[in-house]
Amino acid sequence: MTYQLAPWTAIAPMLVLVITAMVLYIVDSIYPEREHPQLLSGISVAGTVTAMAIAIWYLAAGTGQHGGEIVLFWDQLVVDGMALFFTVIFTAVASLVIVASYDYVRAQPHQGEYYSLLLLATTGMALMASANSLVMVFIALELASLPSYALVSYLKRNRGSVEAGLKYFLLGALSSTIFLYGISLVYVETGVLQLTAIAGTVGEIENVAILGFGVVLLILGFAFKTASVPFHFWAPEAYEGAPTPISAFISSASKAAGFVIAFRVLIEAFPYEVLLELGIDWVLMIQVIAVATMLLGNFAAAVQENVKRMLAYSSIGHAGYALIGLAALTNPGGTNDLVLAAAMMHLLVYGFMNTGAFLFVALGEHWGVGRTFEDYNGLATQAPIACVAVTVVLLSLAGLPVGGGFLSKYVLFMGAVSAGFWWLAAVGAVVSALSLFYYARLLKAIWIESPPSTRVVDEYPVGLYTAIVLAALLTVVLLPAFFAVAETAQIAAVDLFA
């Protein structure tokens, strides 16, 4: 009765994304002289939405889940709940960013490249989610990173954009070499690169130090991608200087991509119980990183004057929350799947919230309101709908129950407590309260302060509005509909540990 698709169709989302990117190149080369913003963004969004729809369909249909993961290309790729779940995050964020970009880059040259780079980066991320060996991890990582470097410095006549691109690229290149060196050290000890194969041999290695060095370097590589301390330095500048939709994209999707490889590599290849015995307590290391990240991101965010930079630091802080998903793993793991699932849920909801927040800044830039909090004074009287939307996403980011961010953050804290790491949750709680303070600063500016007489808001960009409102709406809907996210994430997490 049921018709079974061929196994390779499991990577259909990736294929759709990469094909769309190609189509964009073709379309762009048909009309090399003229820009077609509607056409280009239309194609792009069609591609990402299709990919997302397929991923959601697979998730709903149970593809690759409940222990039935689909492995392809001699175990190099795997399609399971986790891969699909994160693919949904990447494609959803990409869709919102593309819709918003329609207004943002309409007046810019090289839009075809812009969109296709965006799609290729998305492809890379989707590939990261499916990567099942360190080779694929590295290749996918580079596929995601390289277009991102270019996208960040897309506004090549803008000093900020260039500076951001330079820093992002230089530190990214450095980090990827460190990451690669880590891989090579792991290979030195184990002689394999496929994740489950590493797990199979890691128990019998000769030199713990070399493996330990390798694991530490790998984790630092993840830290770069997720913008976690101590490899977070690029993030404030890259987010601040990049074209704002790209900031949204990198801080939401790219961060999630970093997490998905971290989850998969650490859990699949380096089983905690084995490595703990070897003396490589990587959970402890993640804990150190998580606490440092939460503290640094939030404390620095609290004292920013520039809204976008505040969001950048807050995005670092959120990486710290999500790291709880790894930091609160235990051996023996009674609630490991809950902990990991919590981080996945948070990354999903965070994708919408954070994208919404950055896109609001993009809207502000569009109107030329300026960069600081004061520049946003009284915007609610001029743009109430966008302001309601951003209020929703900001409050949700702060962990108040207007959206799914509330539940995801508290499920994370819950996970930490369930594992007995109440102090992790306590640190999270403290900085969460602090985050309320700085998000409320923007709310205060928007709602409470009175608007300056000089600012004129006379045009309402459709793309940006649509994207912001959609992001807010999804955030809100994910509060009552959180069960869908929670259950899917948990199934994926259980599979990963199985």
Residues in region 401-430 near other proteins by CB under 8 A = 401-402, 406-407, 410-411, 413-414, 417-422, 425-426, 429-430
Figure out which of the listed residues 230, 273, 462, 497 binds other proteins, where binding follows CB under 8 A.
230
135 binds other proteins (CB under 8 A): yes
Secondary structure (DSSP) of 233-273: THHHHHHHHS-HHHHHHIIIIIHHHHHHHHHHIIIIIS-HH
345/469 Cα distance (integer angstroms): 21
SS3 for 160-176 is: HHHHHHHHHHHHHHHHH
Residue 352 host element (H or E): helix 336-367
Q: For residues 49 and 188, which CB has a smaller minimum distance to other proteins in the complex? A: 188
Q: Which is nearer to other proteins, 325 or 463 (CB)?
A: 325
Exposure of 273 in the CB half-sphere (CA atoms within 13 A) = 7
CB of 9 to other proteins, least distance (A): 26
Using CB under 8 A, which of 55, 490, 492, 495 touches other proteins?
490
Angle between helices 37-61 and 111-130 (to 10 degrees): 10
Stretch in the footprint of other proteins (CB under 8 A) among 59-67, 89-97, 121-129, 477-485: 477-485
Closest CA to 181 of 206, 148, 217: 217
Does 153 engage in binding with other proteins (CB under 8 A)?
A: yes
Mark the segment that binds other proteins (CB under 8 A) among 16-24, 36-44, 61-69, 302-310. 302-310
- Tell me phi and psi for residue 266, to 5 degrees: -65, -40
Tell me the CB-side half-sphere exposure of residue 435, using CA atoms within 13 A. Answer: 32
Report residue 489 as tokens.
């994430």
Residues 426-455 that bind other proteins (CB under 8 A): 426, 429-430, 432-434, 436-437, 440, 443-444, 447-448
Cβ-based nearer residue to other proteins, 53 or 417: 417
Interacting stretch for other proteins, rule CB under 8 A, among 4-12, 37-45, 156-164, 451-459? Answer: 156-164
Tokens 């290695």, residue located = 205
How many residues touch other proteins (CB under 8 A)? 112
- 139 touching other proteins, by CB under 8 A: yes
Q: Choose one: 18-26, 43-51, 361-369, 478-486; the region binding other proteins (CB under 8 A).
A: 478-486
Q: Which residue has the tokens 């009552």?
A: 480
In the complex, what is the shortest distance from the CB of residue 414 to other proteins, in angstroms, rounded to a whole number?
A: 5
Task: Identify residue 255 by its one-letter amino acid code.
Answer: K
- Asked if 174 interacts with other proteins (CB under 8 A), we say yes
Q: How far is the CB of 454 from other proteins (least distance, A)?
A: 21
Q: Which of 30, 233, 368, 462 binds other proteins (CB under 8 A)?
A: 233
Point out which span in 57-65, 152-160, 266-274, 464-472 binds other proteins (CB under 8 A): 152-160
Does residue 142 touch other proteins according to CB under 8 A?
A: yes
> Among 212, 243, 245, 364, which residue interacts with other proteins (rule: CB under 8 A)?
212
* Residue indicated by tokens 């540990």: 497
Q: Which of residues 236-275 bind other proteins (CB under 8 A)?
A: 236-237, 240-241
Helix ranges (DSSP H) in 400-461: 404-418, 422-443
Using the rule CB under 8 A, is 111 a contact of other proteins? no
CB 134, min distance to other proteins, A? 8
For other proteins, the closer CB: 35 or 113 = 113
**According to CB under 8 A, which one of 163, 205, 365, 460 is a site residue for other proteins?**
163
Positions in 363-402 near other proteins (CB under 8 A): 395, 398, 400-402
What's the rounded Cα separation, in Å, for the pair 229 and 223? 7
With CB under 8 A as the contact rule, which of the stretches 30-38, 252-260, 264-272, 480-488 interacts with other proteins?
480-488
DSSP state of 306: B
Site string for other proteins, 49-78 (x = CB under 8 A): ------------------------------
Q: Are 471 and 393 in contact (CB under 8 A)?
A: yes
Site for other proteins in 115-134 (CB under 8 A): 134
Restricted to residues 328-347, the positions that interact with other proteins (CB under 8 A) are 335, 337-338
Give the list of residues 6+ apart from residue 225 with CB closer than 8 angstroms, or none: 141, 145, 175, 254, 255, 257, 258, 261, 262
Tokens for 235? 């993030």
- Which one-letter amino acid corresponds to residue 328? A
- For residue 448, the minimal CB distance to other proteins (Å) is 5
What letter represents residue 166's amino acid? L
Sign of the dihedral defined by the CA atoms of residues 205, 206, 212, 215, in that order: negative
Helix axes 282-302, 307-327, angle to 10 degrees: 160
Integer Cα distance of 22 and 16 in angstroms: 10
Residue 180 engages other proteins in binding (rule: CB under 8 A): yes
Q: Does 299 bind other proteins (CB under 8 A)?
A: yes
Q: From CA 228, how far away is CA 318, in angstroms rounded?
A: 9
**Binding status of residue 465 toward other proteins by CB under 8 A:** no
Which residue in the set 156, 452, 462, 497 belongs to the binding site for other proteins (CB under 8 A)? 156
- Report the residue number, 54 or 229, with the smaller CB distance to other proteins: 229
